[in-house]
Homo-oligomer: A and B are copies of this chain.
C-alpha cells in the first residue's frame, strides 16, 4: 500500500489527470509560452492556487505532465539493435503527439537556464529511461547518454526549427544512423 489513508482534513480532489489533459490541450492550442498557468487552470476548471499547491512551478507541472504522458519505458525487441530502433520510433511518436512535443521543447528550453528545473527534468524524467536502456542494451552510461542526446536532441531541434514533428522517413534515417553506435 502506497496510500496512507491516515491524514485528517479534506482530501485532495483527484484532478491531476484533468490538469494534465488541460495542460496538453492548452499547449497544443496556444503553444508553450502562451499556455499560462492561469489559462491551464481555467481549462481544467480548477483554481490557479490549486495547481501551485501541487506543483511548485510551471516547469514542475510540465515535467510531471511529461512523466505521466510518456509513461514507463517500453523495451521491446529481439536483438539490441531492434530494441534501440523501437525505442527511437517510440520516442519520435511520443514527441509527435499533439502538445507533447511542444511541451517537451518548451520545458527543455526553460531548463537550459534554470538549474533547478534541469535537475528535476534529469532526475524525474530522464533517469528512468537512462537506467532501463543502460541495462537493456548493456552499454555504459556515457554511451546511452550520448544516444539520448542524439535522438532527443535531433527530434526537438526539428520540432523547434520547423514547428512540425519529424517525418517517418527521417526517423528511419535516425534509426539507421544510430545502428553503428552500439558496441
Contacts and interface: CB of A to CB of B under 8 A. Distances in A.
B153 A157 contact: yes
Contacts of A126: 161
Copies in the complex: 2
| Residue from the set A154, A159, A170, A181 with the largest chain B CB neighbour count within 10 Å | A154
B150 A112 contact: no
Contacts of A176: 180
Q: Which of A112, A126, A181 has the most CB of B within 10 A?
A: A112
B146 A152 contact: no
Contacts of A110: 109
A85 to B, nearest CB: 15
A89 B97 CA distance: 33
A152 B159 CA distance: 13
Contacts of A109: 105-106, 108-110, 112, 160
A167 to B, nearest CB: 9
Interface of A: 31-34, 102, 105-106, 108-115, 118, 121-122, 126, 142, 146, 148-150, 152-161, 163, 166, 170, 173-174, 176-178, 180-181
15 contacts: A31-B113, A32-B112, A32-B113, A108-B160, A109-B112, A109-B160, A121-B161, A142-B170, A148-B157, A150-B153, A152-B157, A154-B154, A156-B157, A177-B181, A180-B180
